[in-house]
Structure 1
Amino acid sequence: MSSKKLQGPFQRENPNISIPGAATFALGRLADAPLQYMMFTQGWAVKALAAVGMRASNALVTAGPGVAGLGPVPTLLTGMYAIAGIRHAYWALFTSDNHCSTGSSLGIAVYNTAVNIANTLVAVHMLTSSPHPILGSFTDCIGWKQWAGLALFVIGISMEMIAEDSRKKFKQDPKNKGKIDDTGLWSVVRHPNYLGFLLGRIGISLVTGSLVSTAAHAAVQFAIFFFGGVPEISGYMATKYDAQWMDYKKRVPYAMFPGIY
């Protein structure tokens, strides 16, 4: 991986947190789940699909046991959107120590919302040809893709949270001043937070029921990290920690996937 220095949305050299930026990040992520819920319940997703000639049905969005007027799959998706939004809002307000401008924060929030709008549209379209029954219990109405997606989401968001919170505690300890966190998940891969986010994103997409859409979302998110996030952080760390960073890369050779990448 190249150590060429790139500029990402976070100004890592700036210790002053942007309050407007953090607030924009948090509010933008928290607004995502209500928007997706409205797309399901108000028929916006169905209208958007119909406008481009794709099959969709309002009745199938609400059919079967669910919560707040939604069927099983929309219920799962909306819940996952909400949990991810709350998690990232918490990170922006209480965990992050990087300066992120209002514009950059808005861009990140819009990107996440756009990806989830795509997931919502795919889910509504897939419901028109779902092989699973809409009667019976909640678990009767979902299949292996939903269970696998939910598992990946739980693993991913837990990994992301544990990695970020443990690093914050490491950096807050005066004994670790000037040191790179190489404990816990950070001793396995150099970017466990990115891996967690990627797994969570794949999990949400898989719940839609479309393997093609899931693969596409996974490829796009991986490319963003591979060509953007990872080299940007590597360049910053090489500049700040020099030999210590090189030693860390030797001890933890995998950027995101143990034994693979």
Structure 2
Amino acid sequence: MSFEKDARGRDGLSHLRGNPNTSIAGVATFALGRLADAPLQYMIFTEGWAVKGLTAVGLRASNLLITAGPGVAGLGPVPTLLTGMYAVAGLRHAYWILFTSSHYFPADASLSVVGYNTLLSTINTLVAAHALTSSPYPILGSFTDCIGWKQWAGLALFGVGIVMEMVAEEGRRAFKRDARNRGKIDDTGLWSVVRHPNYLGYTLWRAGITLATGSLPATAILTAFQLAGFYTRSIPGIGGYMSAKYGPEWTDYKRRVPYALIPGVL
């Protein structure tokens, strides 16, 4: 996954691209910080911090609805699903920094990425705690009996986004490692469809997590925020770097692949 973007917590880091050095502190901060997200969100659910925070600002929330019903380790079905999604996302990011990324990541850049993703996860956890207060889902029956279409749709979006992001990043890594492609822009696979398929994948899986909380308004708001961050700040930043590095090749690539994120739309 390519992290040179505000919408994931940082921008203006294009100067880190192409740096062959490795920051052990940065890699460790990135990997461990992202892996810590799921345990942290689990504690926010189980320790009652979500409910306390919501009630402190006058919003409804109930610990009973967070823990009742079939789930794992004291969580109800929806919090179990969300915590599992946080865990998969954290593993995905840890794999990326350890095995896929070729960019230099100092500790401060890693902290900004970890902080941004932790913030989004915490917002989703709070949204879920509030949404469960008026949950239409039963608390008796099997796990699948106790979740609804929003959770299934969110899980599907999450899966598609994670796979899309990984396929894009791993495909680009393989392209760059081939000596025949030295100095070329990757225009193969998903990169021939849109210029930033990794950004789109990230947006989809983030939207999937938010949809799984059960809140359609939160899903719309967070998705719009993510897309706006990519489109207005991250993509122009990367475009400037690519233009300076590749010149006419970048101009030609933009002509052949006109859409940055969503084919036919954006």
Give yes or no for TM over 0.5. Answer: yes
C-alpha deviation, 1:35, in angstroms: 0.2
Residue number in structure 2 paired with 1:164: 169
Q: Is 1:193 aligned to residue 198 of structure 2?
A: yes
Return the alpha-carbon distance in structure 1 between the equivalents of residues 47 and 187 of structure 2: 48
Give SS of 1:73's match. Answer: helix
Offset from partner CA, 1:10-49 (integer Å, 9 cap, x none): 6114232322112111111111000000011111111111
1:49-103 per-position Cα deviation (integer Å, ceiling 9, x unaligned):
1111211111111111111111110000000000000000110111111122211
**CA-CA distance at 1:7 after TM superposition:** 2.0
Counterpart selection for 2:102 from 97, 101, 106: 97
The aligned runs of 1:37-52 (5 Å cut-off) are: 37-52=42-57
Partner of 2:6: none
What percent of counterpart residues are identical? 67
2:215 is equivalent to residue 215 of structure 1: no
What is the match of residue 73 of structure 2?
68
The one-letter amino acid of 1:111's match is: Y
Which residue pairs with 1:85 in the alignment? 90
Would the alpha carbon gap of residues 9 and 42 (structure 1) be closer, same or farther in structure 2, given more than 3 Å must change?
Answer: farther
Runs of 4+ in 1 over 4 A off after TM superposition: none
Task: Give the aligned residue type for 1:112.
Answer: N
After the TM superposition, which residues 19-30 of structure 1 pair with which residues of structure 2 at under 5 Å, given as runs?
19-30=24-35
Deviates more, 1:32-41 or 1:213-222: 213-222
- Among 224, 248, 255, the alignment partner of 2:253 is 248
1:223-234 mapped onto 2 (5 Å cutoff): 223-234=228-239
Does 1:144 pair with 2:183? Answer: no
**Contact 1:9/1:100 (CA < 8 Å) preserved in 2?**
no
* 2: CA distance, partners of 1:62 / 1:13: 47
Q: Is the 8 A contact 2:154 2:210 kept in 1?
A: yes
Q: Please give the alpha-carbon distance, in whole angstroms, between the structure 1 residues aligned to 2:140 and 2:131.
A: 17
Equivalent in 111, 116, 119 of residue 114 of structure 1: 119
Give me the whole-angstrom Cα distance separating, in 1, the residues matched to 2:14 and 2:242: 16
Unmatched 5+ stretches in structure 1: 1-5
- Preserved contact between residue 182 and residue 248 of structure 1 (Cα < 8 Å): yes
DSSP 3-state at the match of 1:259: coil
Distance in 2 between the 1:71 and 1:28 partners? 25
TM-score for the superposition, normalised by structure 1: 0.95
How far has the Cα of 1:259 moved from its partner? Answer: 0.8
Return the alpha-carbon distance in structure 2 between the equivalents of residues 143 and 156 of structure 1: 20
TM-score under structure 2 normalisation? 0.93
- Kept in 1: contact 2:67–2:75 (CA 8 A): yes
Larger mean CA deviation between 115-124 and 10-19 belongs to 10-19
Gap regions ≥5 residues in structure 2: 1-10
Paired letter, 1:243: P
What letter is aligned with 2:125? T
> What secondary structure, in the 3-state scheme, does the structure 2 residue paired with 1:128 have?
helix
Report how many aligned residue pairs link the two structures.
256
Q: 1:10 to 1:127 in 2, by over 3 A?
A: farther
Q: Which residue of 2 aligns with 1:131?
A: 136
**Residue type matched to 2:163 in 1?**
S
Aligned residues: CA RMSD: 1.2
The question of whether the paired residues in 1 share the 8 Å contact of 2:151 and 2:211 is answered with yes
1:94 alignment partner AA = F
